[in-house]
Amino acid sequence: MKLGARVVRDRWISLGVFIAIAAIWQVLSVIYTVEAVPGEPMVAGWQVLFTKTFLSMADYWAGGLGVPSVAEGADRSYPAAALSLADHSLQTIIRLASGLVVGGGIGLALGLAVSWSRWTRRLVDLPVQFLRTLPLLAMVPLFQLWFGTNIAGEILFVAYGIGVIVFAGTVNAVRNVPSIYIDNARALGASRLTLYRTVILPAILPEMRSTVLLSLGTGWGAVLGAEYLGAQSGLGYVIVYAQQFAYLDRMFLIALLFIVYTSISYWGVSKLTARMLDWAPPSQRL
């Protein structure tokens, strides 16, 4: 079988697998009709998810834009539901993006600063290793204690999670730059700063790719963690409230939305970074 044909076949199989899972879920919802709370099935079929559950998202709409909210006495409507989902998604994505920028920036800057000499690198080695082993999501209570429930604390939490990974990734990547590159640039009379700008920064890019993808995954987890405790908006907030009333169908809808978002972001970032690394020899692309 030719490689191209195999790729096409694999795509069809993937599609088939997803359809099969969806179908199994539907069958399960018909067979297993136990309800978590009256009126809320443990396994919600697709017909429920896309009508009743989707409509119930209108409950989380705060009003505005000419679409009245449920709190104002209006009935649940599709526009309100759609707007509410869009709004909460946007809140989550803003938190994630700010955290990525802040944490990624600080992590990269500190990582490069520490890599200045072998001495500083050894000095930070153990503390960073320790910070990395601390379970990030278990630190949510600590951040809540420090920053309360305002948005700065949520962003800082995401930034911390991402910063630690980017920092460690940067230090590691600089360490792995072949010393011949550095020696050669030195022999040609490059100063430390020139060396950083023209040799080290480009050389660590291929290795930073996996760090970026890893921090993206951590970021999605961290933003949810931040919203779990105290946020008044965002997808995490919707999930927490749904869980308190055991509204499994709402949780499932948000989970699906989340899978779609994470998949899109992974796909986008890996395409983008692959494109940015076109110049690197294939053996260096991770």
Candidate segments 98-106, 183-191, 198-206, 217-225, binder of other proteins by CB under 8 A: 217-225
Beta strand 35-37 with 40-41 is antiparallel
135 binds other proteins (CB under 8 A): yes
The stretch among 88-96, 172-180, 189-197, 255-263 that binds other proteins (CB under 8 A) is: 255-263
Q: How far is the CB of 239 from other proteins (least distance, A)?
A: 7
- Total binding residues for other proteins by CB under 8 A? 52
129 belongs to the binding site for other proteins (CB under 8 A)? yes
Q: Which residues, numbered 152-181, are part of the site for other proteins (CB under 8 A)?
A: none
The whole-angstrom separation of Cα 76 and Cα 29 is 24
What is the full DSSP assignment across 82-130? Answer: HHHHHHHHHHHHHHHHHHHHHHHHHHHHHHHHHTTSHHHHHHHHHHHHH
Is 258 an interacting residue with respect to other proteins (CB under 8 A)? yes
- Residue 283 contacts other proteins per CB under 8 A: no
What are φ and ψ of residue 38, in 5° steps?
-50, 130
Based on the shown chain and the rule CB under 8 A, indicate whether residue 124 belongs to the binding site for other proteins: yes
What burial class does residue 146 get, using C-beta atoms within 10 Å of its C-beta: 0-12 exposed, 13-18 middle, 19+ buried?
A: exposed
**What b/e sequence results for 153-184 when a residue is b if at least 16 CB atoms lie within 10 Å of its CB, and e otherwise?**
bbbbbbbbbbbbbbbbbbbbbbeebeeeebee
Q: Which is nearer to other proteins, 27 or 65 (CB)?
A: 27
The site for other proteins (CB under 8 A) is made up of 6, 9-10, 13-14, 17-18, 21, 36, 42, 119, 122-127, 129-130, 133-142, 144-146, 217, 220-221, 224-225, 228, 236, 239, 243, 246, 248, 251-252, 254-255, 258-259, 262-263, 266
